A = this chain, B = another copy of it.
């Protein structure tokens, strides 16, 4: 078998997208030992960098060594005991994933739902919290399946009034949309690198408020082989070892208690993702995503396409596009990949075969990526029998870029 030599792709789907070349360079650095002063310094720097990305002063800001889904399960299994009530407002597939993970770990799951393509009014969630009195509210910030972002401002305080923790999955939105851990009073946030952070999947940044850490403190147990007579004994120990955030905090914190062997290469990548985002500035990056998302959106309309979902609550970095009647959605995607090496996405469940999802995120929130995608899409749509205005997508996107200058 040959060496790894992937074909060139321009990844304009809902993520993963192309990694920033600086992240890949960081990930090609040689390893150091797990407790080498250089390694522990990188870990401590990474905590500080993600505080900047997540806009938080939380000491408990670390990485889980797994994909964004590992981060979700780590938060839920660590913060929720079997039998405790969890309220999940669902407005897309990743809300369903939160119900799935919560049910697996033995939570009593309560759901409120919105049709895919809409979000909740914060008051609607507040009413459900009052009714259900959950231990924790788990809500996706940006659900890539529908492209929408749930407003979260005000929700944290309201959960706290009712004694509930507020957890959010920011995988799809972080770095490309306004996101405020502390200002929104979020107790737990998890994310991934493969969207606006311009890295590969496989690492899940996590941050926890003091309120969340207090829950972990009551559930902490030191593992066999490391514990001694003075070690705490938890009444309701966390039912996972690998995803036990109390132990992960002890590994990242001053105690440096051995847990897993930190995934060095993944850490290098995660550190670089955050470093380059803060170098650009979070506000600047968010504005870049807004500008390129708006131009892509104008271009898609310029091609005569219809956008999916409540556009006033759309994430900046991904756009749902209705597949026009009479057009074979998979054939269009196939042409884009075969002729232009461009990938766009489909969706899940009720939206499967109904919409495409087109992303402009991370390293690919770039003018050339937007224009190239629109030019290629024009050709693919025409080849599949749709009458599209010549140059309509590119011209509209160019106009949108120019209008902002």
Contact = CB atoms under 8 A, between A and B. Distances in A.
B96 A224 contact: yes
A241 B29 contact: no
Interface in A322-378: 337, 343, 348-349
Looking at A24, A68, A72, A94, which has the most chain B CB atoms within 10 Å of its CB? A24
Contact of A202 (B223, B244, B263, B275): B263
A308 interface: no
Within the oligomer, what is the number of copies of this chain?
Answer: 2
Interface stretch (A13-21, A313-321, A385-393, A397-405): A13-21
Contact of A7 (B32, B192, B268, B343): B32
Contact of A99 (B24, B42, B66, B224): B224
A370 to B, nearest CB: 18
Given A241-B73, A261-B201, A100 B224 contact: yes
Nearest to A39: B6
A178 interface: no
- Place the interface of chain A in its size category: 35 or more
A70 B38 CA distance: 25
Nearest to A22: B3
Interface stretch (A54-62, A101-109, A128-136, A153-161): A101-109
Interface of A: 1, 3-9, 11, 13, 15-19, 21-22, 24-34, 36, 38-39, 42, 45, 49, 65-70, 72-73, 77, 93-94, 96-97, 99-101, 104-106, 145, 192, 194, 200-203, 223-226, 237-244, 258-266, 268-269, 271-272, 275, 337, 343, 348-349
